[in-house]
Structure 1
């Protein structure tokens, strides 16, 4: 993958975009301020004039997704060399870390530090599972993109140590598409001559979960919650012209004749690596899986037949400290260390993660990278995921909607969406 040295994407573009959605990324709920660093702890309420010191005999466990393990092992080794605290990295899928913390945290078997997407912190905070980012709060607020800080906060309390900002886009095989398609019409026309299901050759794939399939809702006037995903009383998955969005989705089964459950991350990743999948909808976390195997580019998602751009969901990932950690000071130190400018650039170099740190985002390696610019361009057409408590019910409902309506053409779209929406409302009321 060669870097474009003649054209960059200015960080100002990203900052302006992030500012627009800043208010949507913070949630409301009870704080966990009672878990702040004790006043007599070394460097408590750190204002930058003192250095925290880890607890005597401290040792840390970090949970990290498979695609980031090699990066995190480097960070852990550097932290141990700097502070004498050994760090063990355990592989836990990104989507499983929050659920694991809910059970393993109180049992004292969870990692000290983990990564969560911002839409999961509401439930974690309400359950008392996270420690606030109090010792490094001022530095974090100054060094990280504003929206990343807002997204890592809950009811005004900062909990996270921002790590990366992200959305998904379209990976395209340059040997099949010298220039990326811009519309679904182009993809459908290509698929009619390229697809060979008996040889596992397909034009495009995405996972049938709410995150990746959201454009079929958002680009047709639907939404998760009102007021930029902050109003739990306004559920919008069955509003606007969403029925037309699902009708168009169903029409695509002609070019993707597979059951939804058979289209997994592993399946489409392997097919793209093998040159059998022309277009793969995925995020920056998958860049490392392709950069040495496929001649690829990254471009915004295709626009829809109604003339609207594909509206994706965007998010912020941050490190968080387990409230049940035996070494809360060392854990805070590590989360701060891992989220530094230098380590966010290392994460970008090794995995393609887009930094949340302002200075890291200004680095020429970011601005001049055409792969990263593809994600930035899609970010322009994204909306932030909701961190409203109860959003987990929406995720479950959306997956049910996409899977059932894709697999079973006899289901009535409007009735199905209305029923799923009512189930979500009932579930949220019962929480």
Structure 2
């Protein structure tokens, strides 16, 4: 699922010459190690400062490339025995990329004890299920929470019913004003889909997968999405949902910390608050851990491997930069030693949502869940489709793909 690309709306395809250098050309690979990323502008400013500091302290040369369509580029390059030593993405690639041999187990090479440095959720996120392997290092936590415009409403809604009342009051599409907006996909609407106890995808202790698409509880969660759609822009594209909020024409919006850079760049009026209470349930969004992955390419050159491990540990354990991620971008720290009392209120809101959320599955079978379920959601919202029928059809498609 191209989640971060869609949600952060970032582009930045690296020039062909630079990309060829990272892949290895006539002159060999660039730098002492290579990193690919798809960071937003505000995130990149922090990252660039950290890379410069690392290079100054170690005399290593880190080749950093911003790469559009990162997942496709990674899969193509590493499968061909090329590519970078490290890339950055949320933890949901762990299972698929481990199964396909794209990742390296660095557990024997690390100089830090993950359990002593990082939170439990962060440690779990970098280990493929059923293994002791460590395929990356965690940098920050992220999830969906509620954004609101303080110029339109004095306080954020505390309950779903209150949120719907506010949405109805401010909804005036003829004037380009809407009561609510958010991107429409499985990840961003997971807070509603899983609100009544059903889970989109689970794997039991025997390794058997369970899809929640046929559960009445998930259909009830989809009804929340359908109710909110009445007050949303008709165009479901990310920009069409975000722009009215940043322009001051929507009081309530759902998004994650990856949106903060864009909102700040556009001088949007916004605050971040906790997710609304839901009668008979609880908002349960998918949560993610940003991971700096160890590519299988580190096994090609011992010197480059050593630099990659050193860089990964330096970056992810640096409290100064973890604090900046929280202060400037509202990401949730995953270092145990970070003082939570010194975090912005916005981070506390995301932490609250994270605490009641559900970690994105890392099982490779989840890759076949995103698109069919999103298609079903879209059919319900835009074509007035029956929830049970559309979700059942999605379930059949997903299970068929597992059997192929």
TM over 0.5: yes
8 Å CA contact retained: 1:63, 1:111: no
Q: Secondary structure at the match of 2:187?
A: helix
Q: Give the TM-score of the pair, scaled to structure 1.
A: 0.78
Corresponding position of 1:379: 354
- CA 1:353–1:248 in 2, change beyond 3 Å: closer, same or farther? closer
- CA 1:114–1:397 in 2, change beyond 3 Å: closer, same or farther? same
2:119 to 124, 131, 145: 145
Corresponding position of 2:295: 322
- CA 1:76–1:240 in 2, change beyond 3 Å: closer, same or farther? same
**Partners of 1:358 and 1:184 in 2: CA distance:** 33
How many angstroms does 1:109 deviate by? 5.1
How many angstroms does 1:390 deviate by? 1.0
Residues 1:352 and 2:326 aligned together: no
Corresponding position of 2:261: 288
- CA 1:363–1:248 in 2, change beyond 3 Å: closer, same or farther? closer
How many angstroms does 1:344 deviate by? 1.7
CA RMSD of aligned residues (A): 2.5
Corresponding position of 1:337: 314
**Partners of 1:387 and 1:205 in 2: CA distance:** 28
Corresponding position of 1:303: 277
Cα-to-partner distance string for 1:233-287 (whole Å, 9 max, x where unaligned): 3221221332333334323332125043x3x0x3344333221222121112223
- CA 1:65–1:109 in 2, change beyond 3 Å: closer, same or farther? farther
8 Å CA contact retained: 2:197, 2:281: no
Residues 1:105 and 2:70 aligned together: no
Cα-to-partner distance string for 1:131-170 (whole Å, 9 max, x where unaligned): 2233226433321112211111012211121101121100
Matches within 5 A, 1:10-159: 58-67=32-41, 68-92=43-67, 96-107=69-80, 110-134=83-107, 135-136=109-110, 138-154=112-128, 155-159=131-135
Q: Which stretch shows the higher mean deviation, 132-141 or 398-407?
A: 132-141
Corresponding position of 2:177: 201
How many angstroms does 1:336 deviate by? 1.4
How many corresponding residue pairs?
366
Cα-to-partner distance string for 1:319-377 (whole Å, 9 max, x where unaligned): 112212552221222111211233222322332221111112x25422xx211111122
**Partners of 2:383 and 2:190 in 1: CA distance:** 19
8 Å CA contact retained: 2:286, 2:357: yes
Corresponding position of 1:41: none
Cα-to-partner distance string for 1:94-150 (whole Å, 9 max, x where unaligned): xx4333211122335533321122221111111111122332264333211122111
8 Å CA contact retained: 1:64, 1:89: no
**Partners of 2:259 and 2:66 in 1: CA distance:** 16
8 Å CA contact retained: 2:171, 2:178: yes
Question: Unpaired segments of 5 or more residues in structure 2?
Answer: 1-28
8 Å CA contact retained: 1:130, 1:321: yes
Question: Unpaired segments of 5 or more residues in structure 1?
Answer: 1-54
1:402 to 372, 377, 384: 377
- CA 1:201–1:229 in 2, change beyond 3 Å: closer, same or farther? farther
Q: Secondary structure at the match of 2:157?
A: coil
How many angstroms does 1:61 deviate by? 3.2
- CA 1:335–1:199 in 2, change beyond 3 Å: closer, same or farther? farther
Cα-to-partner distance string for 1:56-91 (whole Å, 9 max, x where unaligned): 962433323224221211111111111222223322
How many angstroms does 1:208 deviate by? 1.1
Q: Secondary structure at the match of 1:255?
A: coil
- CA 1:303–1:57 in 2, change beyond 3 Å: closer, same or farther? closer
1:412 to 378, 381, 386: 386
How many angstroms does 1:317 deviate by? 1.4
Residues 1:163 and 2:136 aligned together: no
**Partners of 1:365 and 1:182 in 2: CA distance:** 25
**Partners of 1:228 and 1:89 in 2: CA distance:** 39
- CA 1:83–1:248 in 2, change beyond 3 Å: closer, same or farther? closer
2:150 to 174, 194, 215: 174
8 Å CA contact retained: 1:217, 1:237: no
Q: Secondary structure at the match of 1:202?
A: coil
1:185 to 161, 176, 179: 161
**Partners of 1:145 and 1:242 in 2: CA distance:** 30
